[in-house]
Amino acid sequence: MQISVVVPLFNEDESLKELCDWIARVMQANGFSYEVILVDDGSNDNSWNVIEKLSAENSNIKGIKFRRNYGKSAALNEGFGACKGDVVITMDADLQDSPDEIPGLYKMIITEGYDLASGWKKKRHDPISKTIPSKFFNWTTSKMSGIYNLHDFNCGLKAYKSTVVKNIEVYGEMHRYIPLIAKWAGFGKIGEKVVAHQARKYGTTKFGLERFINGFLDLLSISFVSKFGKKPMHLFGLLGTIMFFIGLLSSAYLGISKLYSVWHHEYARLITNRPSFYIALSCMIIGSILFVGGFLGEMISRVSHDRNRYQVEKKTAIDI
């Protein structure tokens, strides 16, 4: 099978038939073998009934239904696990992503050799309350991730090699950072394609401004986990050691200055009456806590079931 289209959705019953018909027209016009996997993220409207009807009419359409709403990341992760195509396309169900972009994205993966091709909605049909925060969010993500050629990390329209989606895990709210997850999994050839952005035809958006705050926190989280998930002592141990020695050196200075004043018969306040003493003491306590936290994190990571799971691309014949 050439293409799997994974569509996460929540309360999008009005747009599903139009979307699936549009995808089918594009696939037939280009002669692609394909499947469409509609992942119902706990909708409370008529979405699942529509999916069952579409699946009965077209064997290329398949459905997955969650018992409750888990979020877009969970829906994508389930879709990735079920898909069988050589190229996996993701898009939203609200008709704002155009299926006409599928052939171009497919070409970037198969012909141009990209591991991941991300859409860029250069011209957006969204209010300024969404576009301005989105630009800042994407700029920050680009700088922190080191993926400088992407302008729209959160675009739902993306294409992947099947090996990419089978070797990454998307959880929490990490769907915004799939390019970053893929990069850290060893899939570094990431491209971008300018795509059309349609105005929303049915319903209302399911995301509010809080997604930008959550997105920034998720970026910090995934950055920490990817860099220090298997070596927490490298972060906490380093910070703890620095803090402890700052406190220790400050305390030594206070002690030496006290002895110097006494030796020269000069007036010297009690060390415990000096605010700097408590600052130094706090630094030593915080440093100790950070060091112990890193030590405990290291012990936990040592017993983790995936501590020695790595991305292996190829092997030659090996005698065991």
Domain boundaries, the chain: 3-227, 233-302
- What are 263's two structure tokens? 């030796």
Classify 62 as helix, strand or coil. Answer: strand
Place of tokens 């983790």: 304
Place of tokens 């018909």: 21
Distance (Å, whole) CA 7 – CA 19: 10
CA 129 to chain centre: 23
* Pairing of β 87-90 and β 3-9: parallel
Strand partners, 34: 3
From the number of C-beta atoms within 10 Å of its C-beta (0-12, 13-18, 19+), residue 65 rates as: middle
Per-residue model confidence (pLDDT) at position 161: 96
> CA quadruple 269, 275, 278, 279: dihedral positive or negative?
negative
- What are 315's two structure tokens? 């092997």
CA 19 to chain centre: 26
**What pLDDT tens digit does each residue of the chain (320 aa) get?**
899 999 999 999 999 999 999 999 999 999 999 999 999 999 999 999 999 999 999 999 999 999 999 989 899 999 999 999 999 999 999 888 999 999 999 999 999 999 999 998 887 666 665 666 677 777 777 777 778 788 888 888 999 999 999 998 887 778 888 888 898 888 989 999 999 877 766 666 655 556 666 666 666 676 676 666 667 788 888 899 999 999 999 999 888 888 888 888 788 778 888 888 899 999 999 999 998 988 888 777 666 665 555 555 555 555 54
Q: What angle do CA 216, 132, 16 make, to 5 degrees?
A: 80
pTM (2 decimals)? 0.73
Per-residue model confidence (pLDDT) at position 234: 80
- What are 86's two structure tokens? 């050589």
Q: Which fold has domain 3-227?
A: Spore Coat Polysaccharide Biosynthesis Protein SpsA; Chain A (3.90.550)
Tally Cβ neighbours within 10 Å of residue 64: 17
Edge-to-edge strands, sheet with 87-90: 61-65, 34-40, 3-9, 87-90, 158-161, 116-120, 190-194
Q: Which residues contact 228 (CB under 8 A, 6 or more apart)?
A: 234, 235
Q: Which residues contact 226 (CB under 8 A, 6 or more apart)?
A: 180, 181, 184
Instruction: State residue 114 phi and psi, 5-degree precision.
Output: -75, 145
- What are 245's two structure tokens? 């020695």
Strand partners, 311: none
> What does the DSSP 8-state code read for residue 198?
P
